[in-house]
Structure 1
Amino acid sequence: MTDGTIITLISLGVTFLFMLGVPVFLVIAYWVIGCSFVLNLTLDNLGAELLNVFNKGFALLAMPLFILTGDLINKSGIARRLSDFAYACLGWLRGGLAMASLGACGLFAAISGSNSATTATIGSMLHPEMVKGGYDERFSAATAAAGGTVGIIIPPSIIFIVYGFLMNLPISDLFVAGILPGALMVIGMQFACWIICRMNGWGYLIPLQLNRVLKTAFGAWLGFFAIGLVLWGIYTGKFSPTEAAGVTVGFCIIAGLLSWVVSRMFRLDGTKPWNEKSYLSMLVVEGFTIPEIPGIVMRSAQITGILAPLIAISVVMQQILSLLGAQEVIGDFLTSMGGYYPVLFTAMLIVFFSGMILESLPVTIILAPILAPIAASVGVDPVHFSVIFLVGASIGFITPPYGLNLYVASGVTGVPYFRLLKYTVPYLIALISVWVLVSLVPDLALALLPNR
């Protein structure tokens, strides 16, 4: 039996395990170990390569810190204030609460950098409110799932950190390049949401009141400050993305602890800023206590403990694929397409269909080192391609059969997975439209970058 036949059998076997629901990390690990034996690579080499990923991965330190940031702003009540502001701005439109939830996803993503955290937080907060407001429960759950797609595009972004680490690109440039495409994704989904809600008459309207908008904006000042702190520090070069993550965590801890002390000292209800007469209540949020911090850190560590080994084993998988000649095969196929646009759109199709069956992290780690050099060879700017690649990967969060955000939204809302699929279609159309637009207009990704 030839080596190629054995590797094919191993690949079919792990595919079957994946279909049975075996965790992706174990599926990739089984494939890597099996192929290592076939290629006569020792397990010592495998262990050394796994350790080497993190020895060279200073940028990856930002990942657990941004995950922790998302948990902190959720626990402290900052996320609730941001969603209140979005609703005050959009509640006067048909479907305003659903559009506000999408806006809140964008604001939350601008601090946390995680798609699943965005979906879980906004979905658990606003899904009950949307159902009470007359929205179909399937639509409201699908809205939370779709809104979470911007979690990895609007900076800071965990997956941009991984991409920059893999492709040796400045992470700060990638963060800035994601701002306009992320905003367009939110606007595109809000437009689709508005159309669907008008067709079905969903949602109760509230009057647009300048006083309410200003009060909720003032009440959300801690969230806006955290967003501004990250973007200002990275854009001006005052600190690296890793340092920005540490600064943001420190700010969120201080804000949460001080808010708890002040709210208890003055007997404030920090959850409803527009209903309070005291401006002091709008300055603070619900907050948390010191004994609660270990529990918050533990939840973040659990997520990091899932992602970090997956990154390491996927890097080794990519190395084995290189030894097997996968890069040359895909490269020859893409270059046979012709020029700039045929190569670009073929690469986009590969990313899209891969995102349907894999999470964005393994898609990025496996395909980016293969597709990015080929795209660069036909003239695609590396930073522009990073945005194209990751917007495409983010769409995979709401495309079956994988659709991670659909599982997350189903879990936090109680709506069965398959009942969400119908209402993801308008959001898919909106996201794909934005994706194509970003690919055709490089300035949407590069305009904010200095020296471009």
Structure 2
Amino acid sequence: MTDGTWVTLISLGVTFFFMMGVPVFLVIAYWVIGCSFVLGLTLDNMGAELLNVFSKGFALLAMPLFILTGDLINKSGIARRLSDFAYACLGWMRGGLAMAALGACGLFAAISGSNSATTATIGSMLHPEMVKGGYDERFSAATAAAGGTVGIIIPPSIIFIVYGFLMNLPISELFVAGILPGAMMVVGMQFACWVICRINGWGHLIPLQLNRVLKTAFGAWLGFFAIGLVLWGIYTGKFSPTEAAGVTVGFCVIAGLVSYPLNKLMRGQRDLPAVERSYAGMLVVDGFRVRDIPSIVVRSAQISGILAPLIAISVVMQQILSLLGAQAVIGDFVTSMGGYHAVLFTSMVIVFFSGMVLESLPVTIILAPILAPIAASVGIDPIHFSVIFLVGASIGFITPPYGLNLYVASGVTGVPYFRLLRYTVPYLIVLIAVWILVALVPFFSTVLLPQH
């Protein structure tokens, strides 16, 4: 048999494995190993490439640190305080709690940088509250899944780090470019949520009270400080993304450790009037103990241990695709579409359909090195294209058959995967509309960049 026949058979085999639920890392690894033998490459080559990815990828150090940040703010109770603030601001509207969940996803994303962590944290916290508040459980779970899509767009973003590493772009500029498009995604989903809830009459209304808003804002000051610390440090150039991740982890550890004994002290002040005790308690969150840190680190390490090998093996996959000529074929196809807008929308279609069957990480690692140079050749700003690419990849998180956020939401809420699909459609429509708007108007991606 010819090499092409062998590659086709190997591809069909790993596709079957993927459909049977084999982890994506193993699916890609099987394909890489099989094709390496077909092309006459040694396993030493694969080992050298795997090592090379991380030995030269200083920027990738930010990835496990931001994952750890997400777990720290969840364990400390900072995420809960941010959710309370969002509800105080939006609870007066129909569907206010669901809209607050989406707002809380945006705030959580501004510290954690992970879509799955955002969906899991907000879904586990607010899904029970939404069901108690009269929302359909399927809609509640779908809302958490959709809200998680901004986890990789609003900075800091793990996938922006990977994209910048691959394309040799300044990660700090990528972070800044994602701020406004990420906010647009949140507002768009909140609008869709409001429409759905008005039609169905879901949600209990609470009055908009300035004292409630101020109290919850004051209670969430640690979360706002962490968000401001990251954005200020990166935007002003005081921190590199990796340094910002380290500083944020340090802040969250100190805040969590200090808040735990203070929180217990505030609860124990029975001699203080209740109002004073409540006011003082707003200054601190639940916190955690020193002995809790190892379990938090292990949980974060488990997620990093899934992502890091996937990045490495996907880089080797990219090398093999180049040897097979796949990158040239895709590149010629996109280039043949014509000028600026033809290349732009062809690239968007490729990213969208790829996101339906693959996670954003392999989509980015495989397609970005192919599509980004073509986009640049027709005059698309590299930073602008990065935002277009990754917003499209984020939509894949709620697009079946893969839809990673749908699986995460299903796991934390107990709602079966297929029962979520109907209620993701309105969010999907809005996100695609925002995506097209961001693609057509570079202003939204570049306005906050100093040199633009």
TM range (shorter): over 0.9
Distance 1:268 1:103, change over 3 A: farther
Asked if 1:429 is matched to 2:433, the reply is no
Task: Indicate the residue corresponding to 1:326 in structure 2.
Answer: 326
Name the % identity: 87
Distance 1:77 1:268, change over 3 A: farther
Task: Indicate the residue corresponding to 1:247 in structure 2.
Answer: 247
Task: Indicate the residue corresponding to 1:42 in structure 2.
Answer: 42
Alpha-carbon separation, structure 2, partners of 1:4 and 1:42: 19
Q: Provide, for residues 24-71 of structure 1, a one-character-per-residue CA deviation record: whole Å limited to 9, x for no partner.
A: 001100111111111111111110010000001100000000000000
Q: Provide, for residues 300-351 of structure 1, a one-character-per-residue CA deviation record: whole Å limited to 9, x for no partner.
A: 0000000000000000000111111112101111111111001100100000
Q: Provide, for residues 193-227 of structure 1, a one-character-per-residue CA deviation record: whole Å limited to 9, x for no partner.
A: 00000000000000000000000000000000000
Q: Which amino acid is the alignment partner of residue 127 of structure 2? A: H
Alpha-carbon separation, structure 1, partners of 2:333 and 2:263: 62
TM-score, normalization by structure 1: 0.98
SS in 2 for 1:356: helix
Task: Indicate the residue corresponding to 1:337 in structure 2.
Answer: 337
Aligned positions, number: 448
Q: Which amino acid is the alignment partner of residue 102 of structure 2? A: L
Q: Which amino acid is the alignment partner of residue 146 of structure 2? A: A
Q: Provide, for residues 170-203 of structure 1, a one-character-per-residue CA deviation record: whole Å limited to 9, x for no partner.
A: 0000000000000000000000000000000000
Task: Indicate the residue corresponding to 1:227 in structure 2.
Answer: 227
Q: CA deviation at 1:233?
A: 0.3
Asked if 1:381 is matched to 2:381, the reply is yes
Alpha-carbon separation, structure 2, partners of 1:297 and 1:93: 39
Task: Indicate the residue corresponding to 1:131 in structure 2.
Answer: 131
Task: Indicate the residue corresponding to 1:115 in structure 2.
Answer: 115
Alpha-carbon separation, structure 1, partners of 2:321 and 2:418: 34
Alpha-carbon separation, structure 2, partners of 1:100 and 1:379: 39
Task: Indicate the residue corresponding to 1:280 in structure 2.
Answer: 280
SS in 1 for 2:204: coil
Task: Indicate the residue corresponding to 1:153 in structure 2.
Answer: 153
Structure 2 portions without partners, runs of 5+: none
Q: Provide, for residues 82-119 of structure 1, a one-character-per-residue CA deviation record: whole Å limited to 9, x for no partner.
A: 00000000000000000000000000000000000000
Aligned CA RMSD, in angstroms, stands at 1.1
Q: CA deviation at 1:266?
A: 3.1
Alpha-carbon separation, structure 2, partners of 1:370 and 1:14: 23
Please tell me whether the aligned partners of residues 339 and 378 of structure 1 are also in contact (alpha carbons under 8 angstroms): yes
Q: Which amino acid is the alignment partner of residue 349 of structure 1? A: V
TM-score, normalization by structure 2: 0.98
Task: Indicate the residue corresponding to 1:65 in structure 2.
Answer: 65
SS in 2 for 1:266: helix
Please tell me whether the aligned partners of residues 268 and 281 of structure 1 are also in contact (alpha carbons under 8 angstroms): no
Alpha-carbon separation, structure 2, partners of 1:57 and 1:368: 17
Q: Which amino acid is the alignment partner of residue 332 of structure 1? A: D
SS in 2 for 1:402: coil
Alpha-carbon separation, structure 2, partners of 1:437 and 1:268: 53
Alpha-carbon separation, structure 2, partners of 1:416 and 1:336: 43
Task: Indicate the residue corresponding to 1:410 in structure 2.
Answer: 410
Task: Indicate the residue corresponding to 1:165 in structure 2.
Answer: 165
Q: CA deviation at 1:267?
A: 2.4
Q: Which amino acid is the alignment partner of residue 125 of structure 2? A: M
Task: Indicate the residue corresponding to 1:289 in structure 2.
Answer: 289
Q: Which amino acid is the alignment partner of residue 410 of structure 1? A: S
Q: Which amino acid is the alignment partner of residue 208 of structure 2? A: L
Please tell me whether the aligned partners of residues 355 and 397 of structure 2 are also in contact (alpha carbons under 8 angstroms): yes
Q: Which amino acid is the alignment partner of residue 426 of structure 1? A: P
Alpha-carbon separation, structure 2, partners of 1:327 and 1:275: 65
Asked if 1:362 is matched to 2:357, the reply is no
SS in 2 for 1:338: coil
Structure 1 portions without partners, runs of 5+: none
Alpha-carbon separation, structure 2, partners of 1:128 and 1:47: 46
Task: Indicate the residue corresponding to 2:18 in structure 1.
Answer: 18
Q: Provide, for residues 248-275 of structure 1, a one-character-per-residue CA deviation record: whole Å limited to 9, x for no partner.
A: 0000000000000211233269xxxx98
Task: Indicate the residue corresponding to 1:77 in structure 2.
Answer: 77
